[in-house]
Amino acid sequence: MTHRIPGADCAPEPERYRYGEIVSHGVSTALLTDKYELTMLAAALRDGSAHKRCTFEVFARRLPEGRRYGVVAGTGRFVEALAQFTFDPQTLAAVSDFLDADTLAYLSEFRFTGDVHGYPEGELYFPNSPVLSVRGSFAECVVLETLALSILNHDSAIASAAARMVSAAGGRQLIEMGSRRTHEEAAVAAARAAWIAGFHGSSNLAAQQRHGVPALGTSAHAFTLLHTTADGTDERSAFQAQVDALGVGTTLLVDTYDITDGVANAIAVAGPELGAVRIDSGELAVLVRQVRDQLDGLGATGTKIVVSSDLDEFAIAALRAEPVDSYGVGTSLVTGSGAPTAGMVYKLVEVDGITVQKRSAHKASAGGTKEALRVAKPSGTIVEEVVYPAGHPPPTEVGFESRPLSVELVRGGHPVHEHNLEQARARAAAGLGSLPWDGLKLSKGEPAIPTRVVAPDKPTS
């Protein structure tokens, strides 16, 4: 094949790839990567090793400290991004200063033609779970490392943190409100991941447009302060304006000034049918009970209480005995302190059928293309994850049940799996429900179940 670097006047037609309810229009993802991936590609093309058949795997050697399980999110976004991993003239121009002509020619016609298998979104994962398996030539697999890891590490970290909050909330509503605490695109991905883990909605409108995540929210303190006049504050006018616009089912923010007066003004304006009040400051455990008593005394027994203000899973758990109906969570969900990285890595495990593995101290990896199954009691409680050489599942012990975990995501470069977020939500809920009781603890401890890695029969290199 003769390779040609396309000129600016003959850029390829944008790829249109349907993913769920979204249509992406050919925005290249090829530069969402690290330079060394392309320099490795150049060296491999030069010495002829670029076309060796390889398998790369994504896995986490360990869970973040204090975590007992992880929740997979981002595989759907990775497949979508993979379809757009192409090099148009502008993209090629950005790398032409350090790549040779042969490498640029190869990239000009690059399309991933390999296979991808992995855990579907919403599935739990544990140390050494083969979350993603990418198979193809070295050239087409090596350049995907950063793309895969940046998506999976971010989304899985958010989903894992969100799942802990879902567990702590005990069925009460959770709203993701972290958009103003992170990058604008990360905010959309975070809302999507939190939705997979069981959150009920997000404040982010782009997440609703792109992924169908319900958008929730009413007003901030600024709206109440807006109604200040020369004669003083006028909280009732602010509440009246909101009710007139949104109806009595709205949620009124009652802690801009005195919270007791705020509740009284809210009910005076909206009546006892008011949908909810929100508290965004103060000693929530004390205030929630006081507000509930006040609402009930005013006849607003059906008015719900929404709380926010730097909540995390521990604060949510501490409020579980209080009459809270809904939690708004932002900073602790979308930042590193609340959602530490999933710690996933992308490692070469097989070359032309030969098992390879890294043996560095504290960074060793198990070689060979792998699959996994999860073993459970007849009651459904999981007891073990077994990672084994692909195509050779071990027998399941009598009295236990097992199920395979990986699904085919991409075949011959073409997506073959429907990434349905409702199914992902159901999968995450089922996974949390299958954990042994101590696996849901928020305290530090070992992973909820052990992972057993079955060694391959063939020799390693």
In the numeric block, the tokens 């193809």 are attached to 136
DSSP per-residue letters across 312-331: -HHHHHHTTTS---EEEE-H
- The whole-angstrom separation of Cα 439 and Cα 429 is 14
Quote the pLDDT of residue 7.
35
Quote the pLDDT of residue 362.
64
305 is written with which tokens? 């209480």
Question: Which H helix or E strand runs over 409?
Answer: strand 407-411
Quote the pLDDT of residue 26.
56
Confidence (pTM): 0.90
**Of 35-39, 359-363, 420-424, which gets the smallest average pLDDT?**
359-363
Nearest to 284 by CA among 314, 264, 246, 243: 314
pLDDT band at 23 (very low <50, low <70, confident <90, very high): very low
User: pLDDT digits over 261-297, tens only?
Assistant: 999 999 999 999 999 999 999 999 999 999 999 999 9
pLDDT band at 147 (very low <50, low <70, confident <90, very high): very high
Portion of the chain with pLDDT greater than 70, in percent: 92
pLDDT band at 13 (very low <50, low <70, confident <90, very high): very low
**Of 4-18, 79-93, 264-278, 283-297, which gets the smallest average pLDDT?**
4-18
Quote the pLDDT of residue 339.
85
pLDDT mean over 402-411: 96
Quote the pLDDT of residue 131.
98
pLDDT mean over 144-165: 97
Q: Domain 170-335 sits in which CATH superfamily?
A: Aldolase class I (3.20.20.70)
Quote the pLDDT of residue 352.
97
Nearest to 377 by CA among 403, 357, 344, 351: 403
Quote the pLDDT of residue 21.
32
Nearest to 200 by CA among 216, 184, 185: 216
Fold annotation for 29-159+339-453: nicotinate phosphoribosyltransferase (3.20.140)
User: pLDDT digits over 225-237, tens only?
Assistant: 999 987 888 999 9
- Domain-by-domain residue ranges, the chain? 29-159+339-453, 170-335
